[in-house]
Structure 1
């Protein structure tokens, strides 16, 4: 009985200490950071008849999101995904109908989390951190993703750039996100598995944490993030230790 009471007391003291300190707002990218896109990759590769199909399409998708930013001609990510998939179909000379394209892209709403994600998020929540998302996906897609992956309960807010109509890594997008939660941009940490997202957040004045997902790397010409880990559990523990 005595040891149990001491354990609970220590846990309470630590929790109160963390709450009293000014903890940063945790801002999470979604696709390839929290959600594993392996099923979508398989679907797109099969549709395009090439193991390189997903890579060709996804690079186009990111490229033309920046074209929309630069030309002030916004289309939501669902529209861009279909348009660039049409381009990939032509480039790879695949025989795909518009209906087949749209059906394949619906897979993005049915992605599963990486195994480390629930525990990593729970660690942060238990230690008093506020969690929000910031994604290039439109709000309807984001809501479906969070519900399917059973992640809704972890997040105070689920933010989509669809509101501001500027794709990450536009600097104003990161500032806008922190303003929605009444937090200074310097008092937030972006957690992402994309070097371009990390670079944008750091340039905007955020702190950043990079998850070293397979196939992802940091941009060498950008500043290094404050936290780096092989998975979200490792990143979460580093952040918690830093602010303890």
Structure 2
């Protein structure tokens, strides 16, 4: 089945989410293997707590770096599961965020998308973390800018961070996170839902502008 949605958006700027959209968070489970009994469950709890902390900070009108939020979530996860990890082992897990593996379609399709659109990263991640990740995996050259939550002191899905993209012109978010898609649409951006896992449509939030299963399908749709 091909791309579905209200319409194929005519936009000049594609604003990409990073974590879970371009980069596979399963890489974190690989780093946790040998350190914890259930790497997949460990990472799921860690990620959920990371997102919860970021949202809580935003609701409270406070901001901490993504690195700090991620470390706090890690320490909670370790305590919650009763694990006795050492500081060096925790450092190994934190460093895994800098060694995430990109989805294979990123290297194939980003060059195609960059030929017709300005690509920017729109991320909750700290700018230096995202810049290093993109460079180390050979994807940085495709992106004109990195727009980070640290610029506005609040995390997605706050309208403020999506405003960074809307200032660049007619833009669409590309994200595999439904809450991110809803946040972008609420802020007035178009939003392309990269439904990598074939999940059902969310019950809350507006309908995405376009739904695709991967970046190859997105590139095909925008070139049609």
Length-normalised TM-score, structure 1: 0.82
Q: Which residue of 2 aligns with 1:116?
A: 105
d(CA) in 2 for partners of 1:44 and 1:79?
Answer: 19
Question: Is contact 1:178–1:188 with CA below 8 Å preserved after alignment?
Answer: yes
Q: Which residue of 2 aligns with 1:143?
A: 131
> Is 2:108 the partner of 1:106?
no
Which residue of the other structure, out of 172, 194, 219, is the alignment partner of 1:236? Answer: 219
> Is 2:19 the partner of 1:31?
yes
The structure, 1 or 2, with the larger RCO (C-alpha pairs under 8 Å, 6+ apart) is 2
Question: Is contact 2:158–2:183 with CA below 8 Å preserved after alignment?
Answer: yes
Q: Which has the larger radius of gyration?
A: 1
Deviations along 1:113-171, one digit per CA (max 9) or x if unpaired, are 11111222122122x21110011110110111011110111111111111111101111
RMSD, matched Cα: 1.7
Shift of 1:217: 5.6
Which residue of the other structure, out of 189, 193, 197, is the alignment partner of 2:172? Answer: 189
Matches within 5 A, 1:7-18: none
Task: In structure 2, list runs of 5 or more residues that go unmatched.
Answer: 1-9
Deviations along 1:168-191, one digit per CA (max 9) or x if unpaired, are 111111013332x3x2xxx21100
Matches within 5 A, 1:1-244: 23-44=11-32, 46-50=34-38, 51-126=40-115, 128-179=116-167, 181=168, 183=169, 187-214=170-197, 218-241=201-224
Length-normalised TM-score, structure 2: 0.89
Q: Which moved more, 1:42-51 or 1:154-163?
A: 42-51
Instruction: Give secondary structure in 1 for the equivalent of 2:179.
Output: helix
4+ runs deviating over 4 angstroms: 215-218
d(CA) in 2 for partners of 1:213 and 1:239?
Answer: 18
